Amino acid sequence: QSVLTQPPSASGTPGQRVTISCSGSSSNIGSNYVYWYQQLPGTAPKLLIYNNNQRPLGVPDRFSGSKSGTSASLAISGLRSEDEADYYCAAWDDSLSVLFGGGTKLTVL
């Protein structure tokens, strides 16, 4: 069981805005940056958000991240069929390791 808790699934229709939550503790999210990854079926993960809310070059501004206290969220606006994927949050933990959330499977209806 992951220390970073994500809902196992989320869904939305094209054009909608969806959010995925990630809950941690003071030893990880509460005191360190949060990262978000997208993993399309059968492919390697891709970094979507770093340092809580920064997007790497090439990531559309439909994707945004936020953090408050010991929780973080990934928002996807203008949902598209190609956004159907698994999404993972991650953060450094004081146990001297990066922790990943359990992942959220996003379905575009």
Residue 13 or residue 84: which is nearer to other proteins going by CB? 84
Sort 69 into a burial class: Cβ within 10 Å, 0-12 / 13-18 / 19+.
Answer: exposed
Residue 17 or residue 52: which is nearer to other proteins going by CB? 52
Measured distance CA(43)–CA(109) in Å, rounded: 21
Q: Which residues contribute to the site for other proteins (CB under 8 A)?
A: 2, 32-33, 35, 37, 39, 44-47, 50-51, 54, 56, 86, 88, 90, 92, 95-103
Minimum CB separation of residue 24 from other proteins in Å reads 14
Residue 12 or residue 45: which is nearer to other proteins going by CB? 45
Give the count of alpha carbons within 13 A of 56, CB side only: 9
Q: Which of 3, 16, 67, 10 is nearest to 38 (CA)?
A: 10
Residue 15 or residue 96: which is nearer to other proteins going by CB? 96
Minimum CB separation of residue 54 from other proteins in Å reads 8
Distances (CA, A) of 36 to 102, 109: 12, 22
Minimum CB separation of residue 13 from other proteins in Å reads 26
